[in-house]
Amino acid sequence: MQHRRLGPFTVSALGLGCMNLSHAYGTPPAPEAAEALLLRALDSGITFFDTAALYGFGANETLLGRVLKPHRHRIVLASKCGMTGVNGKRVIDGRPQSLKRDCEASLARLQTDVIDLYYLHRWDKQVPIEDSIGALADLVREGKVRSIGLSEVSALTLRRAHAVHPVTALQSEYSLWTREAEIATLAACRELGVAFVAFSPLARAFLTDTLHDPEAQLEAKDIRRQMPRFEPANYAKNLELLPEYLRIAAEARCTPAQLALAWLLAKGEDIIPIFGTRTLEHLDENVAGADVQLDRKTVERLDALINQQTVSGPRYNTATQLEIDTETFPIAA
């Protein structure tokens, strides 16, 4: 496994996003299956594990705490605050006292004395970003958090936060079909020396060539059912992009999933993709994606094939888009 710098840490070039072991994609796997996957990831060379207080309303942190505590010295552990489950509902709350409360609860569930990278999961737009970051800076000074991150924010918000306390990483969605990071945040991260952690690098399974009929394949509570790109008309158009994509993967002698990960790794040494999976087979496949080397011509072909102009449907629905702070591309007339 290759390694990359993440602020003060050296981590595996690919990290494991743990959300779907407890949250958002329908029925979670059995605890023993989730445990086996986490340990297999560790044995495969993955040293960067990403969770959040929101995932399973604490269940995901509890899972990681139970399974990874004996291996804590081997990993860089990231979690998130500011978006949690309250009385069965998702709540965004960036008030300083709430973030400090979140941290204490996360430390207990994770069974650790310190969180290596602690993200503000969402910017609570009712609270100045400076106030929320100030609370996280307090946690650093108290030794409960080693470094600070931000999730789903704009370049402007990143700069405001970084002026209060150095930001180690910005996490946002980035893949061939989600390119908003290229508007401004990637450039801002590079200017400030902030690592970019790319979630959903496989386009929520679109780029794996395993999801051909969302209506039939996705469970009722799968979050993709609320995303415009997975609506039948849009998804049918998006599937038209796959034949050429699969040809490029065949030429590169890798699987479609490995091609998606290799494209991101080729975009810069400061980008760390975190993929999610529930199966050992897909875990092994994705880990091997770190060994795929793409030449400049192949990267350019992929850029031209799948991008904001060729993908059908916006990234999020209107309600979800209002909760995030990232830049967006103009909607085509």
- Distance between CA 196 and CA 251 in Å, rounded? 28
Eight-class DSSP state of 65:
H
Taking 3-state DSSP, the helix, strand and coil percentages for the chain, each rounded to the nearest 5, stand at 50, 20, 35
Domain encompassing residue 22: 3-204+267-292
Amino acid at 241: L
Residue 64 lies in a domain: yes
Residue 156 lies in a domain: yes
Place of tokens 């979630």: 199
Place of tokens 């445990």: 35
Provide the mean pLDDT of the chain.
97
CB of 120 closer than 8 Å to CB of 136: yes
CB of 291 closer than 8 Å to CB of 253: no
- Answer yes or no: pTM beyond 0.85: yes
Residue 116 lies in a domain: yes
pLDDT in tens, 40-97: 999 999 999 999 999 999 999 999 999 999 999 999 999 999 999 988 889 999 999 9
CB of 1 closer than 8 Å to CB of 12: yes
Q: What is the pLDDT of residue 48?
A: 98
Q: What is the pLDDT of residue 332?
A: 57
Any idea how long the chain is? 333
Measure Cα distances from 269 to 60, 194, 264 in Å. 29, 12, 9
Residue 307 lies in a domain: no
pLDDT along the chain (333 residues), means of 10: 96 98 93 97 98 96 98 97 92 98 98 98 98 98 98 98 98 98 98 98 98 96 96 98 98 98 98 97 98 97 97 94 93 57
How is residue 175 written in tokens? Answer: 């893949």
Active site residues: 55
Residue 280 lies in a domain: yes
Amino acid at 301: R
Of 112, 113, 131, 132, the C-alpha closest to 122 is 132
pLDDT in tens, 281-315: 999 999 999 999 999 999 999 999 999 999 999 99
Residue 323 lies in a domain: no
Q: What is the pLDDT of residue 333?
A: 44
CATH of the domain at 66: 3.20.20.100
Cβ neighbours of residue 229 closer than 8 Å, sequence gap 6 or more: 177, 206, 235, 238, 311, 312, 313, 314, 315
Q: How far is CA 289 from the centre of its chain?
A: 17
Residue 247 lies in a domain: no
Q: How far is CA 224 from the centre of its chain?
A: 15
**Structural domain tally of the chain?**
1
Q: What is the pLDDT of residue 87?
A: 86
Residue 50 lies in a domain: yes
